[in-house]
Homo-oligomer: A and B are copies of this chain.
């Protein structure tokens, strides 16, 4: 479609290091594959999402296969993250500081609310679900699993995180994700409107969740330097989140979000 190199050269204030186009492209490919989880992603979709040409993606993906970073699923021919990635990840100490800092709050909030609770971090231009707690209420929204990765803006958590950052930065991210929105049946304009609404409201919300009949509410969690690092989300069947209960849920979420921020600051995380 549009393979404008201008979008690449339209760099902002901080000058990015050059002489590594290929490496950056390979990482872009990897991040798209990560969004495909175990199922994987067909080549064409990687091409579409990255805006690279097919020969280039093909070459990158196959080199990564040779290196064990990417795997190809036998029957479907889809590409997915390979087993060397978790192996590399073992180099880092296991429990992430955020997870430690958030753990007590997630437990409390889950007990108070009773619906499914998600902790979602920002990673680059994506959201990544890193924790999920199932509540006591018999109907639970379990569609999103730990490891789920989506472009910032398509989920209530993503909207919340965008709403918590300077409008300028949010716009930049939305623009960067534009090519990927189409797969989620949305577009940059819609996302930006939702972000503005969330900013005004003080929390993120989606009346129509990515799953039919569900509703989600998200609060943002900022690092000490004021930038949003994560979101805490409640998802439930829509009927369970009327106006009154919405406010209750928001109160709990915001209380716990502040508690997590406090934990991070005090180095508990």
The distance in angstroms between the C-alpha atoms of A64 and B23, with both chains bound, is 8
| CB of A8 to closest CB in B, whole Å | 14
B123 touches A84 (CB 8 A): yes
| CB of A91 to closest CB in B, whole Å | 4
On whether A123 and B20 interact (CB within 8 A), knowing A26-B26, A93-B38, the answer reads: no
B80 touches A23 (CB 8 A): no
| CB of A2 to closest CB in B, whole Å | 24
Interface of A is mostly: mixed
Question: What's the number of copies of this chain in the assembled complex?
Answer: 2
The distance in angstroms between the C-alpha atoms of A147 and B91, with both chains bound, is 5
Instruction: Pick the contact of A17: B38, B63, B93, B147 (CB < 8 A).
Output: B63
A91 touches B81 (CB 8 A): yes
The distance in angstroms between the C-alpha atoms of A88 and B26, with both chains bound, is 13
The distance in angstroms between the C-alpha atoms of A62 and B23, with both chains bound, is 11
A178-233 CB contacts (< 8 Å) to partner B:
none
| Chain A 84-97: CB-based contact to B (< 8 A → 1; otherwise 0) | 11111111110010
Q: Which chain B residue shows the least CB distance to A25?
A: B23
Q: Which chain B residue shows the least CB distance to A121?
A: B87
Q: Which chain B residue shows the least CB distance to A93?
A: B38
| Chain A 22-44: CB-based contact to B (< 8 A → 1; otherwise 0) | 11101100110111111000000
Q: Which residues of chain B are near A37, meaning CB under 8 Å? A: 91-92
Q: Which residues of chain B are near A103, meaning CB under 8 Å? A: none
Instruction: Pick the contact of A67: B24, B33, B68, B147 (CB < 8 A).
Output: B24
On whether A17 and B62 interact (CB within 8 A), knowing A27-B69, A81-B91, A91-B33, the answer reads: yes
Q: Which residues of chain B are near A92, meaning CB under 8 Å? A: 37-38, 80-81, 83, 85-86, 147
| CB of A233 to closest CB in B, whole Å | 17
On whether A86 and B89 interact (CB within 8 A), knowing A17-B59, A20-B22, A27-B67, the answer reads: yes
State the A residues within 8 Å of B (CB): 16-17, 19-20, 22-24, 26-27, 30-31, 33-38, 59-60, 62-64, 66-69, 80-81, 83-93, 96, 121, 123-124, 128, 130, 146-147, 149
